[in-house]
């Protein structure tokens, strides 16, 4: 019998074994392509936003909204972001899990540490929301 899939020793199905199922963390040694493959293998949603052109909180929210295909009525504030990442998706049906990547978050005076922490707190709250429902929600981020 010919195998239909060859697993590498550290294949994508093994990639997230050491990462808690509901967490927000720096991307560190993970590669975006590997996270995409892992999401695909696990049947999870993969949400990716490259925010390298963003400079302000508003730019970041607009970039996320565009990348994640939020509805046109998205309010472009942190409360609306939380609603889109939780209630809106939850009402659309059964979810298997999420891998979210926020790449190149701005690190400047217009989007300072406090702004970044507020944004990441929304994703931490979303991880808690999904964790209460026993659905994995892993968010990875990097800075410019």
Domains present along the chain, CATH in parentheses: 19-143 (3.30.370.10)
Specify the pLDDT at position 125: 98
Per-residue pLDDT tens digits of the chain, which is 144 residues long: 443 333 333 455 577 888 899 999 999 989 999 999 999 999 999 999 999 999 999 999 999 999 999 988 899 999 999 999 998 887 888 899 999 999 999 999 999 999 999 999 999 999 999 999 999 999 999 999
Question: Judging by beta carbons within 10 Å of its beta carbon (0-12, 13-18, 19+), is residue 99 exposed, middle or buried?
Answer: buried
Specify the pLDDT at position 73: 87
């Amino acid at each position: 019998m010919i195998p239909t899939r060859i697993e590498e020793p550290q294949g994508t199905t093994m990639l997230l074994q050491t990462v808690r199922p509901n967490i927000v963390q720096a991307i560190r040694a993970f590669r975006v392509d590997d996270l995409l493959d892992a999401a695909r293998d696990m049947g999870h949603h993969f949400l990716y936003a490259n925010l390298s052109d963003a400079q302000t909180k508003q730019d970041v929210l607009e970039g996320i909204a565009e990348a994640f295909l939020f509805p046109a009525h998205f309010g472009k504030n942190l409360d609306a972001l939380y609603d889109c990442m939780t209630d809106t998706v939850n009402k659309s049906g059964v979810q298997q899990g999420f891998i979210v990547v926020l790449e190149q978050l701005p690190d400047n005076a217009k989007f300072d540490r406090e702004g970044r922490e507020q944004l990441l707190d929304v994703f931490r709250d979303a991880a808690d929301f999904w964790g209460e429902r026993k659905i994995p929600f892993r968010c990875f981020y990097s800075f410019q």
